[in-house]
């Protein structure tokens, strides 16, 4: 029990204490989001707010990981990829980088843990018993005196999966105070709970600890992010959250279906949003005010109510995901997609009426 609670507690404390220096850093380098000068339609806050909260969360993940997990090539690669994403996020907070530049950097950062050997070798078939082997075709070669392999389908699937989680989480779960932080913490806690089922395997413990560290790092930041937020996790925080969840879902015996279900609301909402933008002739990566959280706000919900709604649904889906097989998860995701699509259509109709 101590080995479980200590990484969670320490990471939460480090994140909590790191947020104040992050605020000072943001003010010193003018990483401030001022709604008077930033007239983007998705901006909903009313007062100048520091960006760059991902720096505090990353400091917690970095320090806690080095304390509680043996440093091996896999952990080094994960932390290196995370650092690239956080630095990119901080630069974006200052200069608002082109979304396509950010996407290219995300692919590069996500490739680092994959190159280190982290990948999806198989997925459980959602259409009955058995698994789908992703390990072939593959090619082996000598590099720095070691034999290395490229698993084409496995590596490509893992790369796309991590980048998709990063961007869909950024687009669908970052708009309201406390929303992103709570959603990531709940999702990471679900992964930790899932990993505990395999705790008899000693190789699973680093994954459990890393999931708990991720949970604690986002929980510790939460008091600073609750309405009214003192600092935003911003693009660095959403980058880091999506990246860690994507990597953890791969490490946890390739339970990508579990994460897809837990993050069902932001993933499906973002999917609908991308389809809507493309259908109207707009770029899928340029933000607007059409996400579910925007529609709920327009309906009259408070920011806190929207946040609690996302937390509650994520927690419920997390509990459900822990008790479903692959086939049931697929049907559940389909059901959520239909229900959410109906809700969005109804909210759109209500908005037009008003």
Question: What 3 state SS string does 289-321 have?
Answer: CCCHHHHHHHCCCCHHHHHHHHHHHHHHHHHHH
Query: What CA–CA distance (Å, rounded) separates 255 from 278?
Result: 30
Write phi, then psi, for 71 (nearest 5 degrees). Answer: -75, 115
Minimal CA–CA distance to 269: which of 158, 170, 137? 170
Minimal CA–CA distance to 65: which of 81, 52, 84, 78? 78
* Residues sharing a CB contact under 8 Å with residue 110, sequence separation 6 or more, in sequence order: 81, 159, 162, 163, 166, 243, 246
What angle do the packed helices 54-68 and 73-95 form, to 10 degrees?
Answer: 170
Query: What CA–CA distance (Å, rounded) separates 64 from 68?
Result: 6
The two three-digit tokens of residue 305, written as one number: 């109510």
Query: What CA–CA distance (Å, rounded) separates 278 from 305?
Result: 30
Beta bridge partners of 32: 50
239 is in an annotated binding site: no
Classify residue 304 by burial, with Cβ atoms within 10 Å: 0-12, 13-18, 19+: middle
Is residue 291 within 8 Å of residue 175, measured between CB atoms? Answer: yes
| Helix or strand holding residue 58 (H, E) | helix 54-68
Query: What CA–CA distance (Å, rounded) separates 181 from 209?
Result: 19
Write phi, then psi, for 265 (nearest 5 degrees). Answer: -65, -55
Residues in binding site for Mg(2+) = 170
Residues in binding site = 170
């Amino acid at each position: 029990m101590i080995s479980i609670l200590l990484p969670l507690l320490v990471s939460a404390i480090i994140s909590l204490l790191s947020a104040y220096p992050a605020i000072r850093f943001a003010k010193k380098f003018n990483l401030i989001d001022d709604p008077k000068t930033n007239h983007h339609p998705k901006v909903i806050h009313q007062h100048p707010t520091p960006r760059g909260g991902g720096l505090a969360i990353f400091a917690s993940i970095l320090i806690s990981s080095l304390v509680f997990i043996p440093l091996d090539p896999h952990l080094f690669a994960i932390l290196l990829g995370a650092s690239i994403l956080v630095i990119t996020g901080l630069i974006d907070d200052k200069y608002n980088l082109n979304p396509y530049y950010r996407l290219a950097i995300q692919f590069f950062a996500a490739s680092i843990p994959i190159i280190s050997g982290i990948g999806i070798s198989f997925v459980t078939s959602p259409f009955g018993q058995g698994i789908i082997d992703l390990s072939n075709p593959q090619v082996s070669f000598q590099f720095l005196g070691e034999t290395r392999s490229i698993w084409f389908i496995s590596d490509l699937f893992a790369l796309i999966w991590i980048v998709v989680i990063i961007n869909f989480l950024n687009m669908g779960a970052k708009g309201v105070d406390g929303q992103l932080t709570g959603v990531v913490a709940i999702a990471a806690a679900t992964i930790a709970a899932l990993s505990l089922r395999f705790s008899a395997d000693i190789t699973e413990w680093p994954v459990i600890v890393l999931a708990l560290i991720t949970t604690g790092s986002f929980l510790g930041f939460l008091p600073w992010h609750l309405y009214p937020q003192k600092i935003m996790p911003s693009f660095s925080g959403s980058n880091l959250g999506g990246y860690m969840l994507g990597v953890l879902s791969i490490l946890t015996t390739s339970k990508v279906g579990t994460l897809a279900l837990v993050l069902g609301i932001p993933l499906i909402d973002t999917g609908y949003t991308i389809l809507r933008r493309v259908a109207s002739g707009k770029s899928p990566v340029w933000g607007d005010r059409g996400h579910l959280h925007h529609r709920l706000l327009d309906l009259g919900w408070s920011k806190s109510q929207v946040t609690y709604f996302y937390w509650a649904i994520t927690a419920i889906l997390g509990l459900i995901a822990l008790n479903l097989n692959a086939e049931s998860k697929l049907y559940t995701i389909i059901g959520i997609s239909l229900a959410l699509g109906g809700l969005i259509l109804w909210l759109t109709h209500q908005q037009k009426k008003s």
